[in-house]
Structure 1
Amino acid sequence: MWTFLSCFLCLVVASRLGFGSVWTSADELDREVKIEVLFKPLECTKRSKKGDLINAHYDGYLAEDGSQFYCSRTDKDGHPQWFVLGVGQVIRGLDIGMLDMCVGEKRKVTVPSALAFGDKGKGPVPPNATVVFEVEVLSVSRGPRSMEAFGHIDLDRDKTLTKAEVTAFTSSKVLIFQQQDETLRTQKVSGFQLRFCRVLKGSAGF
């Protein structure tokens, strides 16, 4: 009985002294992500949601001095990045800050360190750094929602998706899109060459 009362009194004293504020809920952290819409198209037929496959450009800056630490337009040959939203392929702050975005929309997302790179930092980002991302969504498509698609991605058949498995899935998607784009360009060039040859033959009297 005395042990119970002692613990209860300790909790009361701790709450009065403000020690309870040490524990911050996930919802409170999520609300610390600040979103500023820089541009939004007049027509928005599709909005991003958790599980969608996103293609986007994003630039990262340190909030403290504004120095840039990442730019998708110059890194990795300048290709926009593919990722599944809401599964941890990007930092938690971007998973939150890029929800409900239209294709063509641009946002400025300010992310506290706890939802970015934490107390260890990463590369040019120092520990406990607040970061700012300017993001632009180029496309939003359906992610792996069906059980059949889930089975293709879940390579080790443990009924959960790891970051590596999702990355492999998005990489295969990118390859397919690139192949389709290359095929389309080849068809357009071939069609143009065929029409051009017909014009030449006609003018030559063949």
Structure 2
Amino acid sequence: MMWKLVSCTLCFFVSLQLSLWCVWATANELDTEVKIEVLFKPEECTQKSKKGDLINLHYDGFLAKDGSQFYCSRSDKAGHPQWFVLGVGQVIKGLDIGIMEMCPGEKRKITVPPALAFGEKGKDPVPPNATVVFEVEVYSVSRGPRSMEAFRQMDIDKDQSLTKAEVKEYLKLDYEKGGKPRDEPFYEKIITDIFHKSDRDRDGLISAREYNIYEHDEL
């Protein structure tokens, strides 16, 4: 009788431990999951965003806890849409994940857990261990500036380096093709940012190796 009681007690505790472990594992998985809600998607989508694409978008950032806004791209940097290269760490990892396979004109609500946002330390004004929510609207998806196909298209004189004029001409044609031409200050801002991040030796040119963040040996 005593053995049965001990056996049942052990079974109970083992079962309890397994249950707690399962709950912990499920919570842990949820903590590293980016949740995506599509708010609007155009009927036609000729190009979806992928790693290495140049993305142009507006986005608002909110704290999931109380809904307070901590960032608005429309009120930052003269209100121009932001741009970045997708999937290479220029934004928090959760946004890199959440913006994959978006169409120009698409809108999403992206909920990002702390581990894929600003982590345990946070980043002012985002507090530590904060889940954040982004409302994103993509305006354009372009090849590059890290696609080597795009590099060859931009490199008009085929000298294995890009001038500001070559990059600007490529961007203007791409935006005009998409039916969304921009003003000169817009292009100048993008060019300045691209060269600041890519022209590592500051010679006013972007070489094939500087341009190609993946550092392929054949270049």
Give the TM bin, normalised by the shorter chain: 0.5 to 0.7
1:146 matched to which residue of 2? 148
Structure 2 distance, partners of 1:30, 1:51, is 26
Structure 1 distance, partners of 2:52, 2:30, is 21
SS at match of 1:94: helix
Q: Percent identity of the aligned residues?
A: 69
1:7 matched to which residue of 2? none
Structure 1 distance, partners of 2:49, 2:31, is 17
Q: 1:34 and 2:35 equivalent? A: yes
1:65/1:148 Cα in 2 relative to 1: closer, same or farther (>3 Å)? closer
| Counterpart mapping for 1:1-206 below 5 A | 18=21, 28=29, 32-143=33-144, 144-146=146-148, 149=151, 177=171, 181-182=182-183
Moved over 3 A (4+): 15-19, 28-31, 147-150, 172-178, 180-183
Amino acid at match of 1:101: M
SS at match of 1:48: coil
Q: TM-score, normalised by structure 1?
A: 0.61
* Number of equivalences: 147
Which runs of no fewer than 5 residues in structure 1 stay unpaired?
1-14, 151-171, 184-206
**Alignment check: 8 A CA contact 2:32 2:116 kept:** no
Q: TM-score, normalised by structure 2?
A: 0.57
**Alignment check: 8 A CA contact 2:143 2:150 kept:** no
Which runs of no fewer than 5 residues in structure 2 stay unpaired?
1-16, 153-165, 173-180, 185-219
1:30/1:66 Cα in 2 relative to 1: closer, same or farther (>3 Å)? closer
Note the C-alpha offset of 1:18: 3.4
Based on CA coordinates, which of the two structures has the bigger radius of gyration? 1
Structure 2 distance, partners of 1:89, 1:83, is 7
Report the aligned-residue RMSD.
3.5
Which structure has the higher relative contact order (CA within 8 Å, separation 6+)? 1
Note the C-alpha offset of 1:182: 4.9
